[in-house]
Amino acid sequence: MTNQLKTGQKALNMNDSSMHSNTDRIKKSLKKRNSKEKRFRLWGRLAISFGFLMVAILFADIGTKAYPAFFQHWIKVDIEFNRQWLSIEPSDSAVRPDMQALKQANYSATVKKSLYQMFPSITARGDKRDLMKLLSYSAEFKIEDLVTANPDLLGQRVSLWLLADDDVDSYFKSDFTAGQSSGRINDKQAMWLKQLFDSGAVEKRFNTLFFTNSDSREPELAGIRGALSGTILTMIIVLAISFPIGVSAALYLEEFAPKNRWTDMIEVNINNLAAVPSIVFGLLGLAVLINIFGLPRSASLVGGIVLSLMTLPTIIIASRASIKAVPNSIREAAIGLGASDMQVTLEHVLPMAMPGILTGTIIGLAQALGETAPLLMIGMVAFIVDVPTNFTDAATVMPVQIYLWADSPESAFLAKTSAAILVLLAFLLIMNFSATFLRSKFEKNGQ
């Protein structure tokens, strides 16, 4: 009896202990699992911090390099709008010269002589030339603009702020000791500059020209407006071509096309296309668009078409993936209510796939935005001074501009290169933000 009881108890205990050990086992493994999860989270945080750190370093580096490019030095010069210096006929102050006469006037002489007046002690020819080198050659155009806009200035003497030459600009931006020669500024020039500086005739201003001018041989005049316009025009073409075509192709392939060998082959080829080196598309653009169809060289239209070809596979692949991810039950629900295939596709599948499609599009556009190689072939890698205003004007794009400046010997272009990179990054960010905004809008609609 006692025995029986004991064995019974034993059995119960065993049961108990085995239950216990199960919980223990789970607890033990739970410990392992938890620490695994912790480690994974730590890794994730490390990876993200690393990424952020790299981006921060990149921005800090580019930012500090670009900083000088956003400022410029200006020199105050007393300009005398002397009719003789301007060689305006007749020199009689009572007669108002006509536009023709104003256009032909000698403004460079006026600048020179006004400047010599400020430094009467300078007589040697070489010194005079060095003195002139302090000012950007854009000075004469500035006073021409002033006079043609307001002929009453003739005969007057006006204090004007004129842009300094890039060497002067660099001199002031470097840590110079006043009056000492440095870089491309010689001793005499340094002395004059010190005089000007001490008399308050030198000023550092925000560089608006950088945003309003196009490329120029003179670093102090070079700006990104032309390249930025070219980029915007090209991106409009890329978006206008690759987005509708890419999305339609993806919708057709996913929703309408029969699944057979042909569509399999198309799929493989689209994937191949995504892997084709971009310069090949440039060759195609040259051979077909320019040589056969006779489209203009260097035009953003051609650049846009070429970059569209490059962007299309990216958009198609991303769109197809996101269309595939739309649950079939939604299609069935709409079909079951009597929606036509077209209605199902446009009213249900497309809106639900839109966030993914937009992500793909932005990746494709970002690729196109940074591309230079294919543009090389169609002549968009060129020195272009005019701001393109339509799709057939000769244009260049931001990355090309960056490349051209990085390749220039003048030290002032170094800062411009970084500044242009910053502008390109800003452009990319704006593009990304608008895509994110649209995306969240579609997601909200979808919920």
Partner 1 sequence: MTIKTKSLTDGMEIEHTVGNVFADDPKMSMRNVDVFYNDKQAIKNVSIDLARNQVTALIGPSGCGKSTFLRCLNRMNDTIDICKIKGSLLLDGEDIYHKKMDPVLLRARVGMVFQKPNPFPKSIYDNVAYGPRIHGLAASKDDLDEIVVTSLQKAGLYKEVKDRLSSSGTGLSGGQQQRLCIARTIAVSPEIILMDEPASALDPIATAIIEELIDELKEKYTIAIVTHSMQQAARISQTTAYFHMGSLIEVGSTDHIFTNPSHQLTENYITGRFG
* Residue with Cβ nearer partner 1 (216 or 343): 343
Instruction: Please tell me the distance from the alpha carbon of residue 2 to that of residue 446, in angstroms, as a whole number.
Output: 72
Angle between helices 225-251 and 350-369 (to 10 degrees): 140
Instruction: Please tell me the distance from the alpha carbon of residue 181 to that of residue 164, in angstroms, as a whole number.
Output: 17
Site mask for partner 1 (CB under 8 A), range 111-140, x = bound: ------------------------------
Instruction: Please tell me the distance from the alpha carbon of residue 374 to that of residue 118, in angstroms, as a whole number.
Output: 52
* Residue with Cβ nearer partner 1 (2 or 328): 328
When asked if residue 438 is in the footprint of partner 1 (CB under 8 A), the reply is no
Instruction: Give the binding range for partner 1 (CB under 8 A) out of 55-63, 164-172, 324-332, 390-398.
Output: 324-332
- We find the least distance from the C-beta atom of residue 333 to partner 1, in angstroms, to be 4
* Residue with Cβ nearer partner 1 (294 or 338): 338
Instruction: List C-alpha distances in Å: 141 to 69, 231, 321.
Output: 22, 28, 57
Closest CA to 224 of 392, 416, 67: 416
When asked if residue 254 is in the footprint of partner 1 (CB under 8 A), the reply is no
When asked if residue 3 is in the footprint of partner 1 (CB under 8 A), the reply is no
Instruction: Give the binding range for partner 1 (CB under 8 A) out of 65-73, 325-333, 403-411, 433-441.
Output: 325-333
* Residue with Cβ nearer partner 1 (113 or 348): 348
- The secondary structure element, H or E, covering residue 191 is helix 187-198
Residue 138, φ and ψ in degrees, nearest 5: -70, -10
- We find the least distance from the C-beta atom of residue 351 to partner 1, in angstroms, to be 8
> Quick one: which of 333, 385, 426, 430 contacts partner 1 (CB under 8 A)?
333
> Quick one: which of 103, 259, 297, 441 contacts partner 1 (CB under 8 A)?
259
Tokens describing residue 417: 């290169």
The residue count for binding partner 1 (CB under 8 A) is 21
* Residue with Cβ nearer partner 1 (268 or 333): 333
The answer to whether 215 and 392 have CB atoms below 8 angstroms apart is no
Tokens describing residue 127: 């010194």
> Quick one: which of 303, 331, 355, 422 contacts partner 1 (CB under 8 A)?
331
Contacts of residue 333, defined as CB under 8 A and 6 or more positions apart, other chains included, come to 348
> Quick one: which of 332, 370, 430, 434 contacts partner 1 (CB under 8 A)?
332
* Residue with Cβ nearer partner 1 (266 or 295): 266
Among the residues of 293-411, which ranges form H helices?
300-324, 328-336, 341-343, 350-369, 373-377, 398-406
* Secondary structure (3-state) at 386: coil
State which of positions 372-401 bind partner 1 (CB under 8 A): none
- We find the least distance from the C-beta atom of residue 444 to partner 1, in angstroms, to be 10
Instruction: Please tell me the distance from the alpha carbon of residue 64 to that of residue 418, in angstroms, as a whole number.
Output: 9
> Quick one: which of 352, 380, 381, 414 contacts partner 1 (CB under 8 A)?
352
Closest CA to 230 of 9, 391, 91: 391
What distance lies between CA 81 and its chain's CA centroid? 42
- We find the least distance from the C-beta atom of residue 327 to partner 1, in angstroms, to be 8
The CA-based angle 325-327-330, given to 5 degrees, is 140
> Quick one: which of 348, 408, 432, 436 contacts partner 1 (CB under 8 A)?
348
β-bridge mates for residue 74, sequence order: 163, 203
- The secondary structure element, H or E, covering residue 196 is helix 187-198
When asked if residue 329 is in the footprint of partner 1 (CB under 8 A), the reply is yes
State which of positions 145-204 bind partner 1 (CB under 8 A): none
> Quick one: which of 1, 94, 99, 337 contacts partner 1 (CB under 8 A)?
337
Instruction: Give the binding range for partner 1 (CB under 8 A) out of 117-125, 142-150, 160-168, 328-336.
Output: 328-336
- Concatenated DSSP letters for 54-69? HHHHHHHHHHHHHGGG
> Quick one: which of 19, 268, 330, 430 contacts partner 1 (CB under 8 A)?
330
Residues of the shown chain interacting with partner 1 in the complex, contacts defined by CB under 8 A? 258-259, 327, 329-340, 343, 348, 352, 445-447
